[in-house]
Amino acid sequence: MAGTPVTLKGGSLAGALEAQRERLLPCVHCGFCLPACPTYNRLGDENDSPRGRLHLMLAVVEGRLDPSSDAFQTHLDRCLGCRACETVCPSGVEYGTLLELARETATEARRPDVFSRALLTVMGSRALRALFFLGGRFMRVTGLANVAVRRLSGDGIAGKLRFALAMLSATEEAGLERHGRASGSGAWVSAADDGSSLTPSPPVGSAGVLHGCVQDGLYARINEATARTLDANGFDVRVVTRQDCCGALHAHGGDLTTARRLALRNIEAFERVGVDWVVVNAAGCGAAMKEYGVLFEGDAMEERARAFSDKVRDISELLVSAGPRVGAPVECSVAYDHPCHLMHAQGVTAEPLQVLNAVPGVDVRVVAKADECCGGAGIYGMTHPDLGARIGGDKVAAVRDTGADLACTPNPGCMMQIGAGLRMEGASGEVVHPIELLDQSYQRAGYYT
């Protein structure tokens, strides 16, 4: 789980031991988590494994290690938070919960770097986010981001800036219109010759879509496609105003106070509209929102938060529950990668592939080691350029090895990470969300007319 109780006394990890005993003690140090951990696999350091980090947490709890020490700070900071260890753990250790608790303690003991603090400040403010993403869209549409990626070189600040701009460049819309024209006529092929499938079924529930921060700022097209595909599958899609960032980035960064503030805004916003389902198209956001109950554990808000979390669904989960309807062909091959926070945190693996199966003509090629992190983890590629590049480089190589036309993954952060790696190698770096392919298929089938 990705939240942490609010019963802490002054944020002290030691003070929270009794509240966390059931979560901290199940680790039997069996080592099953070692081969699943991306950082341990690259560094070979026990302290950079899940059980090693749990050992460090326990040392702080027992007073044997200062939370401001380099050991505690460095090895906790290196963790991607991918939660692959939870999938293989036979003891059911809730590593995600403990990691964020420890990071809150680490943050209180030693303030994070200026870059991380600035980014968390921006993402926690609607006004600052709007300006930040407005500048990003300007650089994207003018081509300045692409130019900078080609011309910048070197390590240090220049290297971090190049990677950041490559991530921005990777948010460009893929040219799906190039794929799948019917031979001879130049017309799109319809999924149903008799037109019977053009009539949607009666509403199967009301749904509100999380706008998010990166999604709303750089991937508005995916939010729009999410609403359209839900509508085409019989859902009553309602507009939810005054919602906010999900708070995942802040929780991962140890700022649980801001994470709770943002979570409360979302709970109130969706409660006002009264939807049956809270729909999310970003894996990291979905994982965080499904665990709002843990984020508010021990607080008066806990019951409301848990009720809210019970309604949260990834877009693929909801579409599969209703079908999804089959659209028109989109002839292309895609290299599919599982987002960590969809596969490991939410246990959602088959549904995105079922969504892709509803698009005739799509050749899905799951990349090798699709269960391993792409190295995105928020801003990991900028805060840990060397290690992030190694992990990301392996993922990009796996995508290239498929020989597919497009990369495909249902999480904006992963889309940016993989796309940036491809573009920095000189490839087109076109990455799509499965919902974009389904949306294109539905447009061609005439479902939106």
From the list 88, 4, 55, the residue with the least C-alpha distance to 263 is 4
| Better pLDDT: 126 or 6 | 126
Question: Confidence band (pLDDT; 50, 70, 90) for 263?
Answer: very high
Whether residue 282 has pLDDT greater than 80: yes
CATH topology agreement for domains 14-109 and 169-181+325-445: no
CA distance 116 to 54: 24
CA distance 411 to 393: 18
Give the tens place of pLDDT for each residue, 359-377: 999 999 999 999 999 998 8
pTM for the predicted model, two decimal places: 0.89
Domain 169-181+325-445 in this protein, CATH class: alpha beta
Whether residue 192 has pLDDT greater than 60: no
Residue percentage of the chain with pLDDT more than 90: 67
Which stretch of 101-110, 196-205, 400-409, 421-430 has the lowest confidence by average pLDDT? 196-205
Q: What are the boundaries of each domain within the chain?
A: 14-109, 169-181+325-445
Whether residue 20 has pLDDT greater than 80: no
Whether residue 215 has pLDDT greater than 90: yes
Gyration radius from the chain CA atoms: 22
Hunting for tokens 């929780």 — which residue is that? 251
Domain 14-109 in this protein, CATH class: mainly alpha
